Structure 1
Amino acid sequence: MLGRPDAAAPPARHTEEASTLSTTFRDLGILPETAEALEAVGITSPFPIQEMTLPVALAGTDVIGQAKTGTGKTLGFGLPLLESVTVPADVELGRAKPEELSDAPQALVVVPTRELCQQVTNDLLTAGKVRNVRVVPIYGGRAYEPQVEALNKGVDVVVGTPGRLLDLAGQKKLRLSQIRALVLDEADEMLDLGFLPDVEKIIEMLPTRRQTMLFSATMPGQVISLARRYMSQPTHISATSPDDEGQTVANTTQHVFRAHSMDKPEMVARILQAEGRALAMVFCRTKRTAADVAEQLTRRGFAAGAVHGDLGQGAREQALRAFRNGKVDVLVCTDVAARGIDVDNVTHVINYQTPEDEKTYLHRIGRTGRAGASGTAVTLVDWDDIPRWQLINKALELDFNDPEETYSTSPHLYEALSIPKEAKGVLPRADRTRAGLAAEEIEDLGETGGGGRARAKSAGSGGSGPSAERARPARKPRERRRTRGALRTDSPAEQAAATAEGSSVATEAGEDTAAPRKPRRRRRTRSGAPAAASEAPATKETEAAGEGETRKPRRRRTRSRAAATRSAEQPASES
């Protein structure tokens, strides 16, 4: 239960069961232009969270909205946000005065991930199309210049991630002094990613008099504390459905199987051939696993793309565009895509690896069964992950505490997921109708950081976008030099030619010509063999004397020989 800033009294709490979708957005009091824009894309009736939030939020009250993922929270805060800004169309219709217009942002939406930033921006642009509301996304991984240029041209609503927002605001490129409405979307995810301190810094830059709306699927303690500090008497709205008692969406059918890690690629390949399967998402815990699974599915004939943290932003957006456009029908991703991806006709979600906790599980399977549609969620649990899964199962009050041991050839797998009996681990060539990831062009975003290598990798073997690696000039091999102990293998004729060539070059350069320098004589060490000394070249002294015989090496006295000499001389002296 949330309270006022002084925690003296709790806010009003609306927890209702959704009624039939008989009302329309026009009945809820939104502007006719906004309703017209929604009707143009086939959106006429609100969902429970929208129907309950709009009357409160349109009145300017602070709102805390809590609903399950995939139930329409974006329009729940997006429509009041669009109504709070003043655009030229309002002045033309007499709803506002010309002096109320501004090129500075009037509304701000803070989101945790880049993918969610794009999704919210697209929804707001759709709803504000008739009024021509200017919405600009601000997030990392892209070049600064286009974003700064868009802000300088004028903007009404800014949607951004905390890091880039704070960066541009610190550089005085983003003005926050005229913000009238603030939305914190997926606040629990921002807490998990460690963005809450950045969010607090952004809030402190905003005007005190504003409307604040906080939307999330779950409400951890730190999010409640944030609401108490920065919201004024918020109304807590929690939307449920009569046939949806648990934390998961009722129209999503869930299956949990105990599977061996080496058999998972084969199982996934057969699950993806289930009857009625349209678009599918495969979730992995690690970036390496996501890249490997996407590669294996591609080799098996599926049109697959990958979205994970090792890819540059251009490659991530390329895969998402290909997925939305139908060129790719399997998207393999990490939990970076568990929020913010709202794609129509996603019928299957496969948890290739067990999620970290129950919140991650809810957001993963929330990519299907959205907006009233039905979906299928399949979770493959390793033997080592059974304890982790049992904790998730207990927290969500599911009925899969002991998953059934399953393999790619198990009859109950085929029966539960409606997989044709003739399906194998490779997609038949007749069914390979998708264009694939290579058909979607990769956009050069002028990415910051080391995204070039990842972008080139994302293009696959046939990648030929502007982000491909630039061809480097061939490096000249380093010339190997002779060491002192190396033997010269050139013939005498070659050595003479080289000497003559060196002397001619020196003469042309105006230098004195001189005889080639003789190699330095190697000195004999104590451990050297007498044969080595006898084979040594003649010294200067013998050459000057004209003698043909070599110099006799000097004998060295050792301690033992000196002692023997003294002992032999001592009796003679005594006598």
Structure 2
Amino acid sequence: MTLPVALSGSDVIGQAKTGTGKTLGFGLPILERVIVPADVEAGRAAPEALTSAPQALIVVPTRELCTQVTNDLLTAGKVRNVRVLAIYGGRAYEPQVEALNKGVDVVVGTPGRLLDLAGQKKLDLSHVKCLVLDEADEMLDLGFLPDVEKIINMLPAKRQTMLFSATMPGAVIGLARRYMSRPTHIRATAPDDEGVTVANIKQFVYRGHSMDKPEMIARILQADGRGLAMIFCRTKRTAADIAEQLQRRGFASGAVHGDLGQGAREQALRAFRNGKVDVLVCTDVAARGIDVEGVTHVINYQSPEDEKTYLHRVGRTGRAGAKGTAITFVDWDDIPRWQLINKALELDFNDPVETYSTSPHLFSDLGIPEGTKGTLPRSERTRAGLDAEVLEDLGEPGGRAPRGRGGRGDRDDRGGRGGRGRDERGGRDERGGRGEAA
């Protein structure tokens, strides 16, 4: 639905469920419209139209999403030989500046580092013909609105603007009104798919006790037919703790959260994609847009903050037509919060059933073989594990200060800005105290 409108050069607001292919919805028109040497050779464009400055800019909220969108576009743009560059914080400036100097057609970046490089005149935005804001609602949630507006003001007034978002809160619509001209709003849903989540995800919600949850998770991870699994935690500390506990129980697990250096975050995600690790424990930094083939189970270790977070976490499975299972644990004191989410999404789990690691219904619901215990039998420990994946030295700016406040370029991904809410952004940890800033 998006392709013909975007190819004609009109402004587009695209809205679709998570896991339905938004990246190529804006990616293909961009790859088609940038002018590359092949166009000049074929006589489709004049030689003076060629430029080494970026012709398209895609702004994304998180580093993980930045690398993924870049890789997707590199794959899709291979034949036309389109040069795509990822620009994000947490890694050395020099290679990014060097790549920009060599010439690049499409830049994918997070707001903080884009602003830094544009401010230092290293990134020339004067030739950008197309701007894409991906996951726009998340960008506003993270407090990136002022940064995004600064970036937009550096762009030529005559350009195409595309805005993609799974949900459309008022602030996103306000952004569209200010910076888009007569946009076409495209909302894609399958006619038979009524619910808010994708229909082929089986959902289970259990009321669990926090001391029993690691044991429950260890048993769920031994269910029949489990492929890759993602476990979402509300805080960085919990994520690190659960990843470690699962390793002790024999599972090949990795973690992705804001307290890890960028190298360690990328190592864990790579190991997960390559199958060296089959359990990824993460905070909401990995809940958006991350697309890994073969994720069969998503487990919410703690009740999500709100319905949007629930949708995005659960949307890591059942992507592109595959089937998936989503399991949510709700603590006793989180029941009121869960009931609000349940009502907003029109689910039918208003009173989650009390469940323990020994409950027969846990085994029968999820297809866990009888007699499964909380450690993985040695015979089944076949994955190479996190250490088998190389840990790159990314030259992180400012080194790793003990409190994790790297150089200024670290600002751009859920950390250091101390926004509201979760500990990933310097808000509460689970006891309601102050979590460390990411």
Q: Structure 1 length normalisation: TM-score?
A: 0.70
2:123 corresponds in structure 1 to 174
| C-alpha displacement of 1:449 | 3.5
Alignment of 1:383 onto 2:332? yes
2:310 corresponds in structure 1 to 361
2:231 corresponds in structure 1 to 282
2:260 corresponds in structure 1 to 311
- Residue aligned with 2:157, SS: coil
Alignment of 1:66 onto 2:5? no
Separation (CA, whole Å) in 1 of partners of 2:263 and 2:400: 8
- Residue aligned with 1:262, SS: coil
2:283 corresponds in structure 1 to 334
1:400 corresponds in structure 2 to 349
Structure 2: 5+ residue stretches without partners: 405-438
Alignment of 1:194 onto 2:143? yes
Match of 1:429 among 374, 378, 397: 378
Separation (CA, whole Å) in 2 of partners of 1:205 and 1:84: 21
Residues 413/239 of structure 1: CA separation in 2 closer, same or farther (3 Å cut): same
Alignment of 1:253 onto 2:209? no
Q: Structure 1, residues 415-473: CA drift from partner, whole Å, max 9, x if none?
A: 00000012110001111000000000100000014437799xxxxxxxxxxxxxxxxxx
Alignment check: 8 A CA contact 2:19 2:289 kept: no
Separation (CA, whole Å) in 1 of partners of 2:402 and 2:222: 33
Separation (CA, whole Å) in 2 of partners of 1:91 and 1:347: 46
Alignment check: 8 A CA contact 2:84 2:107 kept: yes
Separation (CA, whole Å) in 2 of partners of 1:340 and 1:196: 19
Separation (CA, whole Å) in 2 of partners of 1:447 and 1:77: 31
1:144 corresponds in structure 2 to 93
Alignment check: 8 A CA contact 2:135 2:164 kept: yes
| C-alpha displacement of 1:94 | 2.0
Alignment check: 8 A CA contact 2:339 2:350 kept: yes
| C-alpha displacement of 1:246 | 1.2
| C-alpha displacement of 1:97 | 1.7
Alignment check: 8 A CA contact 1:86 1:96 kept: yes
Alignment of 1:159 onto 2:116? no
Deviates more, 1:89-98 or 1:360-369: 89-98
2:71 partner letter: N
Q: CA RMSD in A?
A: 1.1
2:319 partner letter: R
Separation (CA, whole Å) in 2 of partners of 1:402 and 1:209: 53
Alignment check: 8 A CA contact 1:304 1:332 kept: yes
Separation (CA, whole Å) in 2 of partners of 1:83 and 1:199: 25
Match of 2:360 among 364, 389, 411: 411
Separation (CA, whole Å) in 1 of partners of 2:51 and 2:94: 22
Structure 1: 5+ residue stretches without partners: 1-51, 456-575
| C-alpha displacement of 1:242 | 2.1
Structure 1 runs (4+) greater than 4 angstroms displaced: 452-455
| C-alpha displacement of 1:267 | 0.3
Specify the structure having the higher radius of gyration (Cα): 1
Taking the TM superposition and a 5 Å limit, the aligned residue runs for 1:104-123 are: 104-123=53-72
Separation (CA, whole Å) in 2 of partners of 1:65 and 1:432: 43
1:260 partner letter: H
Name the count of aligned residue pairs: 404
Residues 285/359 of structure 1: CA separation in 2 closer, same or farther (3 Å cut): same
1:446 corresponds in structure 2 to 395
